[in-house]
Amino acid sequence: MRIPLSALVGMFLTASFVFMAVFAQLLAPYPIDSAVGGVWEGPSATHWLGTDTIGRDIFSRLIYGGQITIFVALASSLLAFSTGAFLGFLAAVRGGWVDQVLSRAVDLVMAIPSLIVALVVLSVLPLNLTVLILVIGLLDSTRVFRLSRAVAVDIAVMDYVEAAKLRGERQSWVIFREILPNALTPLVAEFGLRFIFAVLFISTLSFLGLGIQPPLADWGGMVKENKDGLIYGKSAAMMPAMAIAALAISVNLVADWVLSRTSSLKGGRGA
Amino acid sequence: MHPVLKLVIQRVALGLVLLLAVSVVIFLGTEALPGDTAQAILGQSATPVSLANLREKLGLNEPALSRYLTWLWAALHGDLGVALTNGVDIATAIGQRLGNTLFLASAAAVIAVPLAIILGLVAARYNGRWPDKLISGITLTTISLPEFVAAYFVIYLLTQVIPIFQPVAMVFPGMGFWERLHAVALPVIVLVMVVLAHMMRMTRAAILNVMQSAYIETAELKGLTPMQVIWRHAFPNAVAPIVAVVILNLAYLVVGVVVVEVVFGYNALGQYLVDHVTKRDLPVVQAVGLIFAAVYIGLNILADVISIVSNPRLRHPK
Amino acid sequence: MPDPAVGSLLEFKDLRIEATAYPPGEPPRHLLLVDGVSVAVERGQVLGLIGESGAGKSTIGLSAMAYGRGGVRLTGGQIVLNGREIRNADAGGLRALRGREVTYVSQSAAASFNPAKRLMEQVIETSVSHGVMTKNQAGARAVDLFRQLGLPDPESFGLRYPHQVSGGQLQRAMTAMALCPRPDLVIFDEPTTALDVTTQIEVLAAIKLAIAQTGVAALYITHDLAVVAQVADHILVLRHGRKVEYGTTDQIINDPREEYTRALVSVRSIQHAEKAEAPPVLTVANVTARYRGTTFDVLKNVNLAVAPGQTLAIVGESGSGKSTLARVITGLLPAATGRITFAGRTLSGDLAGRSKDDLRELQMIYQMADTAMNPRQTVGTIIGRPLEFYFGLKGEARRKRVQDLLDQIEMGKGYIDRYPAELSGGQKQRVCIARALAAEPRLIICDEVTSALDPLVADGILKLLLNLQAEAKVAYLFITHDIATVRAIADRIAVMFKGQVVRYGPKSDVLAPPFDDYTDLLLSSVPEMRLGWLEEVIAGRKMESAGN
In angstroms, the Cα distances linking C365 to C370, C405, C460, C476 are 12, 16, 16, 10
The 10s digit of each residue's pLDDT in B140-190 is: 778 778 888 888 888 888 887 777 776 666 666 667 777 777 778 888 998
Angle (CA) A73 A75 A78, round 5°: 105
Q: Is C376–A166 a contact, with Cβ atoms under 8 angstroms apart?
A: no
Q: Among A14-23, B64-73, C352-361, C384-393, name the one with the lowest average pLDDT.
A: B64-73
* Averaged pLDDT of chain B: 83
pLDDT score of C11: 94
* Residues of chain C contacting B213 with CB distance shorter than 8 Å: 111
Q: Is B259–A235 a contact, with Cβ atoms under 8 angstroms apart?
A: no
Min Cα distance B277 → chain A (Å) is: 5
Helix (H, G, I), strand (E, B) or coil at C337: strand
Question: For residues C243 and C419, what is the distance between their CA atoms, to the nearest angstrom?
Answer: 33
- B209: contact with C, CB 8 A cutoff: no
Q: Is A208–B262 a contact, with Cβ atoms under 8 angstroms apart?
A: yes
C125: number of Cβ within 10 Å: 24
Q: Is A119–B152 a contact, with Cβ atoms under 8 angstroms apart?
A: no
Give B67's contacts (C-beta < 8 A, 6+ positions apart): B27, B31, B59, B60
Tell me whether residue C282 is exposed, middle or buried, using C-beta atoms within 10 angstroms of its C-beta: 0 to 12, 13 to 18, 19 or more. buried
Length of chain C: 548
| Residues B233-247, mean pLDDT to the nearest whole number | 86
Q: Nearest CA to C116 among B234, B203, B7?
A: B234
Question: For residues B139 and C490, what is the distance between their CA atoms, to the nearest angstrom?
Answer: 61
| Residues C60-78, mean pLDDT to the nearest whole number | 90
Q: Is B214–C111 a contact, with Cβ atoms under 8 angstroms apart?
A: yes
Q: Would you say C275 and C457 are in contact if contact means Cβ atoms under 8 Å apart?
A: no
* Residues of chain B contacting A204 with CB distance shorter than 8 Å: 146-148, 259
Q: Residue C4 above 60 pLDDT?
A: no
* Residues of chain B contacting A245 with CB distance shorter than 8 Å: 141, 144-145, 149
* Averaged pLDDT of chain A: 84
Q: From A256, which residue of chain C is nearest by alpha-carbon distance?
A: C25
Give C486's contacts (C-beta < 8 A, 6+ positions apart): C313, C315, C478, C480, C493, C507
Q: Residue A40 above 80 pLDDT?
A: no
Using 50, 70 and 90 to split pLDDT, how confident is the model at C545? Answer: low
User: Highest-confidence range of B68-72, C396-400, C511-515, by mean pLDDT?
Assistant: C396-400
pLDDT score of C1: 35
Q: What are phi and psi of A235, to 5 degrees?
A: -90, 10
Q: From C69, which residue of chain B is nearest by alpha-carbon distance?
A: B217
* Residues of chain C contacting A6 with CB distance shorter than 8 Å: none
- A204: contact with B, CB 8 A cutoff: yes
Q: Among A175-179, A196-200, A260-264, C469-473, name the one with the lowest average pLDDT.
A: A260-264
Question: For residues C176 and A181, what is the distance between their CA atoms, to the nearest angstrom?
Answer: 49
| Residues C119-138, mean pLDDT to the nearest whole number | 93
Categorise residue C321: left if φ over 0, alpha if ψ from -120 to 50, beta otherwise: left
Give B285's contacts (C-beta < 8 A, 6+ positions apart): A119, A120, A123, B30, B273, B276, B277
Q: Would you say C446 and C329 are in contact if contact means Cβ atoms under 8 Å apart?
A: no
Using 50, 70 and 90 to split pLDDT, how confident is the model at A232? Answer: confident
The 10s digit of each residue's pLDDT in C45-64 is: 999 999 988 888 999 999 99
Q: What percent of chain A has pLDDT over 70?
A: 95
For residue B294, which amino acid is it?
A
Question: For residues C4 and C11, what is the distance between their CA atoms, to the nearest angstrom?
Answer: 8
Give C210's contacts (C-beta < 8 A, 6+ positions apart): C145, C148, C149, C175, C179
**In the 8-state DSSP scheme, what is residue A57?**
B
Give which of B27, B28, B148 to mutate to test A binding, by max A Cβ within 10 Å: B148
pLDDT score of A271: 27
**Which stretches does DSSP call E strand in C290-417?**
299-306, 311-315, 337-342, 345-346, 362-365
> Residues B47, B49, B51, B57: is their CA dihedral positive or negative?
negative
B61: number of Cβ within 10 Å: 9
pLDDT score of C105: 95
* Residues of chain B contacting A223 with CB distance shorter than 8 Å: 148-149, 152
Q: Residue B32 above 70 pLDDT?
A: no
- B57: contact with C, CB 8 A cutoff: no
Question: For residues C298 and C401, what is the distance between their CA atoms, to the nearest angstrom?
Answer: 41
Q: Among A124-128, B31-35, B61-65, C108-112, name the one with the lowest average pLDDT.
A: B31-35
Categorise residue A160: left if φ over 0, alpha if ψ from -120 to 50, beta otherwise: alpha
Q: Nearest CA to A79 among A197, A245, A175, A204?
A: A197
- A120: contact with B, CB 8 A cutoff: yes
Min Cα distance C98 → chain B (Å) is: 4
| Residues B277-299, mean pLDDT to the nearest whole number | 87
- A112, A124, A203: residue with CB nearest B146: A203
Q: Residue C451 above 50 pLDDT?
A: yes
Q: Would you say A66 and A73 are in contact if contact means Cβ atoms under 8 Å apart?
A: no
Categorise residue C239: left if φ over 0, alpha if ψ from -120 to 50, beta otherwise: beta
Question: For residues B174 and C283, what is the distance between their CA atoms, to the nearest angstrom?
Answer: 88
* Residues of chain B contacting A114 with CB distance shorter than 8 Å: 255
Question: For residues C393 and B291, what is the distance between their CA atoms, to the nearest angstrom?
Answer: 65
Using 50, 70 and 90 to split pLDDT, how confident is the model at A256? Answer: confident
Q: What percent of chain B has pLDDT over 70?
A: 91
Q: Would you say C241 and C34 are in contact if contact means Cβ atoms under 8 Å apart?
A: yes
Give which of B213, B216, B221 to mutate to test C binding, by max C Cβ within 10 Å: B221
Helix (H, G, I), strand (E, B) or coil at C232: coil
pLDDT score of B75: 82
| Residues A149-154, mean pLDDT to the nearest whole number | 90
Using 50, 70 and 90 to split pLDDT, how confident is the model at C354? Answer: very high
pLDDT score of B173: 65
- B256: contact with A, CB 8 A cutoff: no
User: Highest-confidence range of A95-104, B78-87, B248-257, C399-408, by mean pLDDT?
Assistant: C399-408
Question: For residues A241 and B185, what is the distance between their CA atoms, to the nearest angstrom?
Answer: 21
Q: Chains A and C: how many Cβ contacts under 8 Å?
A: 70
C80 beta partners: C11, C85
- C69, C129, C161: residue with CB nearest B312: C161
Q: Among A39-53, B36-50, B224-238, C172-186, name the one with the lowest average pLDDT.
A: B36-50
Q: Residue C289 above 70 pLDDT?
A: yes
pLDDT score of C180: 94
**In the 8-state DSSP scheme, what is residue C274?**
P
Question: For residues B29 and B24, what is the distance between their CA atoms, to the nearest angstrom?
Answer: 7
Min Cα distance A179 → chain C (Å) is: 9
Q: Would you say C414 and C406 are in contact if contact means Cβ atoms under 8 Å apart?
A: no
C102 beta partners: C98, C185
pLDDT score of A267: 33
| Residues B246-268, mean pLDDT to the nearest whole number | 85
Q: Among A135-139, B177-181, B193-197, B307-311, name the one with the lowest average pLDDT.
A: B177-181
Q: Would you say C256 and C262 are in contact if contact means Cβ atoms under 8 Å apart?
A: yes
| Residues C120-133, mean pLDDT to the nearest whole number | 93
Strands C311-315 and C337-342: unpaired
Helix (H, G, I), strand (E, B) or coil at C478: strand
Q: Would you say A185 and A170 are in contact if contact means Cβ atoms under 8 Å apart?
A: no
The complex's ipTM works out to: 0.82
* Averaged pLDDT of chain C: 90
The 10s digit of each residue's pLDDT in C168-226 is: 899 999 999 999 999 999 999 999 988 888 889 989 999 999 999 999 999 999 998 99
Q: Is B34–A125 a contact, with Cβ atoms under 8 angstroms apart?
A: yes
- End-to-end Cα distance, chain B: 15
Neighbours of chain B (3+ CB pairs under 8 A): A, C
- B53: contact with A, CB 8 A cutoff: no
Q: Residue B37 above 70 pLDDT?
A: no
Helical (H) or strand (E) element with C501: strand C500-506
**In the 8-state DSSP scheme, what is residue C86?**
-
Tell me whether residue C112 is exposed, middle or buried, using C-beta atoms within 10 angstroms of its C-beta: 0 to 12, 13 to 18, 19 or more. buried
The 10s digit of each residue's pLDDT in A62-108 is: 889 899 999 999 999 999 999 999 899 889 888 889 999 999 999 88
Q: Residue B128 above 80 pLDDT?
A: no
* Residues of chain B contacting C67 with CB distance shorter than 8 Å: 220-221
C16 beta partners: C35, C76
- B50: contact with C, CB 8 A cutoff: no
pLDDT score of A264: 39
- B251: contact with A, CB 8 A cutoff: yes
Min Cα distance C362 → chain A (Å) is: 9
Query: What residue spans of chain A are helical by DSSP H?
Result: 5-22, 24-27, 58-94, 96-110, 114-122, 129-156, 159-167, 171-173, 180-207, 219-226, 238-262
Using 50, 70 and 90 to split pLDDT, how confident is the model at C266? Answer: confident
pLDDT score of C528: 86
Using 50, 70 and 90 to split pLDDT, how confident is the model at C383? Answer: very high
DSSP A122-188: HTTS--SHHHHHHHHHHHHHHHHHHHHHHHHHHHHTSHHHHHHHHHT--HHHIIIIIIHHHHHHHHH
Q: Would you say C171 and C203 are in contact if contact means Cβ atoms under 8 Å apart?
A: yes
pLDDT score of C358: 92
